[in-house]
Structure 1
Amino acid sequence: MPLKAHHVRLTTFIQATEDEDKVLEAIGTFIPEEIDDEDVIFDIDETTGFFGNPIKVVNVEIKRSKAVRAFLRHFKELLDENAKRYILDNLEEKVDDEGTLYIRFNKQKAYLGEVEVDEGADVVQVRIKVKAFPMRKETVVKAVREWLEE
């Protein structure tokens, strides 16, 4: 059964030492080509890091239901067995009380088109606001589990 979601958000950081295009390519790994550009809300904010270094925060949001469905299909195809197993084993911690599934991926690997779950700092964070009824953490955990195990 496909997972249903209200929206998807991807977030990452571009350090001053990083090539912005490469970081955007890393995020692009997660976005299926069939999604229309106007369905991808793209935002880069400039901020300052802990040590006063310039950092750009990249936020990508997908809201239209057709685009969200395309993202979820693509996202599931990207996950290998190790990634699925890791998410399933840690599902309780990966879903918050608002019903959002949080998963972080290695940014360097994503640039190479590979998807590897990573709890480090240099990551692309994927947040999926899951639709479930009733909207409770347990319902969302169950929906994500069924989706990943099918």
Structure 2
Amino acid sequence: MNIVEQVELSTHVHATEDEAKVVKALLNLLPTQMRSNAYLIAEDNMGHFGNRIRILKLIFKGEDSLNVLKHILTQLNPLDREILMLSLSERFNEGRLYLRFNKQLAYRGILRLDDSDDVIKAVVRINHWVLKRSGIETIIRDLMSEKPRA
């Protein structure tokens, strides 16, 4: 039984942004070996003022979702890990963990929690049986302490 059922990563590409750089920022949330095979979903929309906005998504299930979450958690610096644990009740609801990462720092390979609007969003669906048995705090703490696979 997998701890994580699904991880969805998403972000917006505004008309003023370089899409290749935003894609790189999004892919930097993945373990290195998963980046070249990631299937990117792109959806075009219009902003309130008629400007083009593209939504980019990556969706992972099963073992891949667990690997993505482990990578994300192990890449956080000690301060962000502490912030995550202290704010877990605000970031977790109905089996889903909601995280936001600074898009500009992600482009540089740095994962930093951020609560602004222009971010990379992660929605992590945790297996309800595992949650019932262990609780979200234990699950996240255990995953943060695991060694990443690169």
Q: What TM-score, normalized by structure 1, do the two folds share?
A: 0.84
Deviation at 1:81, TM superposition (A): 0.5
Separation of aligned partners in 2, 1:148 and 1:134: 16
Q: Deviations over 1:54-94 (max 9, x none)?
A: 1000111011x232232123212211111111111110010
Q: Deviations over 1:7-30 (max 9, x none)?
A: 110010000000000000000111
Q: What TM-score, normalized by structure 2, do the two folds share?
A: 0.84
Structure 2 residue aligned with 1:79: 76
Structure 2 residue aligned with 1:69: 66
Deviation at 1:146, TM superposition (A): 4.4
Instruction: Tell me the secondary structure at the aligned position of residue 48 of structure 2.
Output: coil
Distance 1:118 1:93, change over 3 A: same
Gaps of 5+ in 1: none
Contact 2:74 2:145 (8 Å CA) reproduced? no
Letter matched to residue 91 of structure 2? K
Contact 2:92 2:98 (8 Å CA) reproduced? yes
Contact 1:43 1:60 (8 Å CA) reproduced? yes
Deviation at 1:149, TM superposition (A): 6.4
Structure 1 residue aligned with 2:96: 100
Contact 2:102 2:120 (8 Å CA) reproduced? yes
Letter matched to residue 119 of structure 1? D
Structure 2 residue aligned with 1:115: 111
Runs of 4+ residues deviating >3 angstroms? 145-150
Separation of aligned partners in 2, 1:90 and 1:115: 17
Deviation at 1:50, TM superposition (A): 2.2
Contact 2:99 2:123 (8 Å CA) reproduced? yes
Please tell me the root mean square deviation across aligned C-alpha atoms, in Å.
Answer: 2.2
Contact 1:27 1:124 (8 Å CA) reproduced? yes
Q: Deviations over 1:77-118 (max 9, x none)?
A: 211111111111110010111x11111011011111111111
Aligned residues: 144
Letter matched to residue 100 of structure 1? R
Contact 2:3 2:130 (8 Å CA) reproduced? no
Structure 2 residue aligned with 1:140: 136
Structure 2 residue aligned with 1:20: 19
Does 125-134 or 85-94 show the bigger shift?
125-134
